[in-house]
Amino acid sequence: MKTKIVPTLFALAGLTFLFSAGASAQPPQNQPPPAQQQQMEVDNATLEQFAAAMNEVAAIQQEYSQQLSETQDPAEAQSIQQEAQTKMVEAVLDSGLDVETYNTIAQQAASDPELQGRIEAML
């Protein structure tokens, strides 16, 4: 089971760009670029929320990926992507996290083996 978790985590880290792109057309003016952001200390409670959200986001991604593969209509594909993004954001918010925190943890986990291990232990 662990062999599926890490690739899923990396795939979900890619979803952070979807969340960011959907949240605003322009990057916030007062935040440094992602490469300059500091590493965040993540407590176990927050990490449990992240793991729950990650599971939900993965399920939504799988469901909507199948729908996307079944359409040839660009307008329908865009509608499906927007609906999926909305549901993924809702899943994150329902977990008790905001999208920015989810994104930060996902990005950090993609390059932090210790954090990946902690997430895997919770899944």
Mean pLDDT in consecutive groups of 10 residues from the start of the chain, 123 residues: 48 49 42 55 93 92 91 93 94 94 91 90 85
| Distance, CA of 85 to CA of 42 (rounded, Å) | 25
pLDDT of residue 19: 52
| Distance, CA of 90 to CA of 118 (rounded, Å) | 24
pLDDT of residue 41: 87
pLDDT of residue 122: 86
Exposure b/e, 72-100, CB count within 10 A at least 16 = b: eeeeeeeebeeebbebbbebbeebebebe
**Tokens at residue 92, please?**
């994150």
- Triad 98, 115, 11: Cα angle to 5°: 65
